[in-house]
Amino acid sequence: MLGILGSHRNDGATDKMLEAVMAGVQKANETEVVYLEDYPFKPDQGDKKDPVLDELEQKMLESDVWVLAAPTYWGGLAGKMKDFFDCMRQRLVRFDHTGGTHPDRFKDKHYLSITDCYTGAFENWVTGVTDQSFRTIDKVMSAAGVIKVHELVLTNTWGLKELPESKKQTCLKWGQRLNSVKKRDDSTLKRYIELFFMIAFMALITMGIQFGFKLVPSQGFWLRYASFVVIFYVLLGCILHFFTVVKHRRR
């Protein structure tokens, strides 16, 4: 398990979250934490590969799970972590003849992401200050074919000396779960089953609204059909908005 810390500090809140997760990993699994500030990497220049990136790439290849921890700076992913992803781009993915990217050597590894902010839990829940940080990590990892295990967020970090006990326990729990991450994780069947139940549930709600609010025109197939489609569409829009915009952890 490889922890990657992309913060200005290696003894701050982000590090404490990362260390708490790593503490849950059992002895049978090897762990290592790299603090990116200790690695003065530069972008590769054509065939001239940066030796520091070589070293980091090797560590990433040798590990099965990455714990990616970086604070939210100015509403986005901390620069050091972003720069690391930018410099690693050529190595994280394979390019086709049009410049399109495809998962390559890191495919089917796993990652857990961590971010934090000064903003309080309620404000972050409402405004999603940390969303962009998670989104950036997810975008890079999904391009590389790396599978997400979970994301952890810490709010209220201003003046924080120790992690709240509940947060420490959550980190520990997820660290323990990393021990049993499967090598291959094809969740396609699970997604189709989820989709089935989502559609069944939405159809039920749609028909409930139609009948409950007497929105079923007494006659005419097309009118009934139109009423169903409009209600279903609104519900689908809300559900998709929730899963694509609001789904990140905020508290």
Tokens found for residue 207: 């028909």
Q: Applying CB under 6 A, does 13 fall inside the site for ligand FMN?
A: yes
Q: How far is residue 101's CA from residue 236's CA, in Å, rounded to a whole number?
A: 30
Between the alpha carbon of residue 37 and those of residues 4, 11, 140, 183, the distances in Å are: 10, 12, 20, 30
Q: Applying CB under 6 A, does 75 fall inside the site for ligand FMN?
A: yes
Instruction: Please state the closest distance from residue 13 (CB atom) to ligand FMN, in A.
Output: 4
Please pick, from the candidates 71, 80, 91, 140, the single residue that binds ligand FMN as defined by CB under 6 A.
71
Q: Applying CB under 6 A, does 14 fall inside the site for ligand FMN?
A: yes
Chain residue whose CB lies nearest ligand FMN = 12
Strand partners, 113: 68, 151
CA angle centred on 157, ends 152 and 160, rounded to 5°: 120
Nearest to 132 by CA among 16, 248, 239: 248
Q: Applying CB under 6 A, does 8 fall inside the site for ligand FMN?
A: yes
Q: Applying CB under 6 A, does 131 fall inside the site for ligand FMN?
A: no
Q: Applying CB under 6 A, does 157 fall inside the site for ligand FMN?
A: yes
- Burial label for 178, CB within 10 Å (0-12, 13-18, 19+), is buried
In the window 107-126, what residues touch ligand FMN (CB under 6 A)? 116-119
Q: Applying CB under 6 A, does 9 fall inside the site for ligand FMN?
A: yes
Give the binding site for ligand FMN (CB under 6 A): 7-9, 12-15, 71-75, 116-119, 129, 157
